[in-house]
Structure 1
Amino acid sequence: MATKVLVLGGGSGGLVAANKVKRLLGREVEVTLVDKNAYHEFMPAYPWVAFGMREPEQVRRPLANLEKRGITYLQATVEALDPANNRVKTSAGELSYDYLIVSLGAEALPSPAQDGHAPWSLEGALKLREALKNFKGGRVVVGVSSPYYPCPPAPYEVAGQVEFALKVKGIRDKSTVEVFHLNPLPLAGMGPVISGKVMEILRSKGIAFHGEFEPASFEGGKVRAKDGRELAYDLLILTPPFAPNRVVRESPLAGPQGFPEVNKMTFRSTRFANVFVIGDTVNPSLMLPPAGVVAHFQGEYVAGVIASDLKGAYIGEPFNPVAMCIMDFGDNALLPQCSFERILAGTGMPSCGVMAVGKWVRVTKMLFEGFWFATLIE
């Protein structure tokens, strides 16, 4: 009888894990992926939708395509986890499993700024595009509302892209672009080399950076920091606050802070040996960045751990504790890389460096978009 592997979430980690388990184990497993959405979306392309480089249909594929790969897809909302009984409650009924992979991501909370734009979803990207259509110039401010948000480079990328968009519209000389963040420097956790390179790119584009800026209020076209500093804006782009996924934080998997407790080397639950948790659902508690590339590598590795359980041994890909992100600034791009091996081992900080910088790096991101769809969901 085939082993039932249930994957919750059709984002980066879940999609990779479902594909890899099926490829490794074939008919030995029945793989089912559950997601409330009908489509898998290439989230790095959301800003491209906001700035007119892509249309929604170009950055998503139907999750039903997984059926062609021997993976069952169920469109349903995950409502509750019952790991003691190997069951999951969904809006389409209860599901049982032998192995569970949880990759439900982080949960966006309401934005503290009613007039802010968040182009990190298709809906938000299209709303920003509409706002830019009517924008005649003025003060653009990009910032974060909390320290926990997916894709740490996102605010800096969007700041660079909106600056380039203003040039193309011919209103750059009528506009200012500023970025604020809680950290003292851009991507401070990645060390001085990457921070310095991002600052260099921002300065070259005339974008001002305001560090250690903790927003306290958004009112009357101004964001006020807790230390009294103010930034006035005509267009605000703001990452909303995020929290651990509600279903997970209300489940027996959760620890005191709401994040699930897992073995940081295998991502296996410390309480339920047949449950794995990957991606933004757990990574902040492991001091790993909430980024799609990390969830990708976790998905591959967890599939190998399940294969090892069922085969008796499997020495495929080790977990690659590396985060790489092609930061697209519109008319420039940067490819930083960080190894988090010392973080996971508890022996130090991440080791980071710059792999490439230049306009040509943008092309790499576009090529990867096509590769991603072709190898996982087409």
Structure 2
Amino acid sequence: MMPARIAILGGGVGGTLAANLLARKLKDQDVQITVADRTGKHVYQPGWLYLPFGAESERNLVRNERSLLDKRVNLIVEDFSRIDMERRLLVAESGAALPFDYLVIATGSRNTPEDVPGLAEGAYHFYSAEAATQLGQALRDFQGGTIVLGVGGLPHRCPPAPLEFLLLLDADLRRSGKRESVNLVYTYPIGRPFTIETVSDFITPVLEERGVTVETFFNPETVDPQQKQILSLEGTTLDYDLLIMIPPHRGAEVISASGIGDEQGWAPTDRHTLAVQGLERVYAIGDATDLPVSKSGSAAHFQAKVVAERIAAEITGKPLDEGAGLYNGHVMCFLETGNEQATTLNFDYDHPPEPPRPSRIYHYEKMLFNRTYWYIVPKGIV
């Protein structure tokens, strides 16, 4: 009898954790577990937040994917561009093919600044190591004026990150004595400064206290780098001296190329089982899904555990324990508020977050997590 073939497309947080959990759960089974990743490098993306401030180095944020995987997991470094569901193959332009019986789509998301004319030329962001480094230089060169920081479209990775960056920037400008010469403007696509109402209620007085001007219902339409203006679909025009705009996001191209995703390339995913709708023995986790939860490493972390439980149960024939193998929308993350303080966001489908008062304890907990991530998350210790 042929071994069960499990392919995991993407070696980020969710893909790596799912592979390692499956290797442990199925150690006595005849299975082949393979992670297929485009680069073979695992990047700790939350660290990009700190690069522009010189509080982190790029080399600390990258590891070889192979070093994080269980020895029973195979790794293929290949850019698979299409999922052939009829033949149950991952197919690459190079001609390489990877057959599967079970598939976990963990392809993350991609920045698409080209969706807003002028954005790539006129704005900075920190949603890649290269972009964060460029932003850091722009901030060091900045002499004063108006900084517009906003979100170019929803959804995007790590929803609290723009607010975190804004508050870290405010604190940094105050420490350097430059805050009085800088006008900070924050834009957001909907009618409040964050998607979740309880978080918006928490952050609104913080922004007022820090002297930040908030422009809601601001969906960027065009950027004019020469005139240094950004125009919204709603008709608002903002002048800027420095523009920091989180680019729009879409799902991985492989999802759209395979006819699986919606218009933005997100895979239609069952909110509890994480099965891709209409496809047999195919699951999606992390940013790749169309679920109404944060596109974050935290969500991918909890979802990977669910998918590993479900696939292991199918292969072993053992029934799932009551409540196991179902995702409840759980996400837990920190939100930096500057001045070495932070709060936490802990929520699920039925329970919105109730951010506690910011404290140094939460900030240092986040710093500790950033340092220990490599040793505890991909390997499934937490």
How high is the TM-score relative to the length of structure 2?
A: 0.89
Deviation at 1:32, TM superposition (A): 1.3
1:209 aligns with 2:209: no
* Alignment-derived partner of residue 354 in structure 2: 353
Equivalent-residue separation in structure 2 for 1:305 and 1:145 (angstroms): 36
Deviation at 1:262, TM superposition (A): 3.2
* Alignment-derived partner of residue 46 in structure 2: 44
Paired residue for 2:199, among 167, 189, 194?
194
* Alignment-derived partner of residue 30 in structure 1: 32
How high is the TM-score relative to the length of structure 1?
A: 0.90
Is the partner of 2:67 in helix, strand or coil?
helix
* Alignment-derived partner of residue 327 in structure 2: 319
Deviation at 1:376, TM superposition (A): 4.3
CA gap 1:22/1:115 in 2 versus in 1, 3 angstroms: same
Deviation at 1:317, TM superposition (A): 6.1
Paired residue for 1:248, among 249, 255, 266?
255
Deviation at 1:202, TM superposition (A): 1.7
CA gap 1:126/1:256 in 2 versus in 1, 3 angstroms: closer
Which amino acid counterpart does residue 20 of structure 1 have in structure 2? L
Equivalent-residue separation in structure 2 for 1:60 and 1:99 (angstroms): 28
* Alignment-derived partner of residue 300 in structure 1: 305
Is the partner of 1:264 in helix, strand or coil?
coil
Deviation at 1:123, TM superposition (A): 0.9
Deviation at 1:259, TM superposition (A): 3.4
* Alignment-derived partner of residue 99 in structure 1: 102
Contact kept? 1:190, 1:338, Cα under 8 Å: no
* Alignment-derived partner of residue 80 in structure 2: 78
Q: Deviations over 1:250-280 (max 9, x none)?
A: 2143357743333332111332221111122
Query: Structure 1: any 5+ residue segments left out of the alignment?
Result: 342-349
Is the partner of 1:74 in helix, strand or coil?
strand
* Alignment-derived partner of residue 266 in structure 1: 273
Which amino acid counterpart does residue 59 of structure 1 have in structure 2? L
* Alignment-derived partner of residue 21 in structure 1: 22
Query: Structure 2: any 5+ residue segments left out of the alignment?
Result: none
Deviation at 1:147, TM superposition (A): 2.1
Deviation at 1:179, TM superposition (A): 0.4
CA gap 1:154/1:328 in 2 versus in 1, 3 angstroms: same
- After TM superposition, the structure 1 = structure 2 runs for residues 140-159 of structure 1, keeping only pairs within 5 Å, are 140-159=147-166
CA gap 1:60/1:231 in 2 versus in 1, 3 angstroms: same
* Alignment-derived partner of residue 346 in structure 1: none
CA gap 1:61/1:91 in 2 versus in 1, 3 angstroms: farther
Deviation at 1:100, TM superposition (A): 0.7
Number of aligned residue pairs = 366
Equivalent-residue separation in structure 1 for 2:45 and 2:201 (angstroms): 26
Which amino acid counterpart does residue 375 of structure 2 have in structure 1? A
1:339 aligns with 2:342: no
Equivalent-residue separation in structure 2 for 1:176 and 1:256 (angstroms): 37
Which amino acid counterpart does residue 131 of structure 1 have in structure 2? A
1:224 aligns with 2:231: yes
Contact kept? 1:19, 1:376, Cα under 8 Å: no
Percentage of identical aligned residues:
25
Equivalent-residue separation in structure 1 for 2:347 and 2:22 (angstroms): 27
* Alignment-derived partner of residue 344 in structure 1: none
* Alignment-derived partner of residue 287 in structure 1: 292
CA gap 1:250/1:358 in 2 versus in 1, 3 angstroms: same
1:123 aligns with 2:130: yes
CA gap 1:356/1:78 in 2 versus in 1, 3 angstroms: farther
CA gap 1:8/1:213 in 2 versus in 1, 3 angstroms: same
